[in-house]
Amino acid sequence: MPKSALLREHIQALIEANLTPHDRLPTERALAEQFSVNRLTVRQVLQRLEREGLIYRTQGSGTFVAEPHVAKSLELTSFTADMIGRGLKPGSRLIGATIESAGDKVGYALEISPRASVVRIDRVRTGDGSPMCVERSYHPEELVPGILRKPLTGSLYELLSGDYGIVFDRASQTISASVLTEAEAEMLDCAPFSAALQVTRKVQDVRGRKVEYATSTYRGDRYSFDFNIYRSIKA
> Domain tally for the chain?
2
DSSP secondary structure, 9-55, as one string: HHHHHHHHHH--TTPBPPPHHHHHHHHT--HHHHHHHHHHHHHTTSE
Is 18 inside a domain boundary?
A: yes
Does 55 or 52 have the greater pLDDT score? 55
- Domain ends where: 65, 91, 112? 65
Residues 164 and 190 in one domain: yes
pLDDT of residue 182 exceeding 80, the answer is yes
Q: What are the tens digits of pLDDT across the range 89-139?
A: 888 899 999 999 999 999 999 999 999 999 999 999 988 888 988 999 999
* Residue 126 belongs to domain with CATH number: 3.40.1410.10
Which one, of 168, 174, 151, lies nearest residue 212 by Cα?
168
User: What letter represents residue 194's amino acid?
Assistant: S
User: Does this model's pTM top 0.85?
Assistant: no
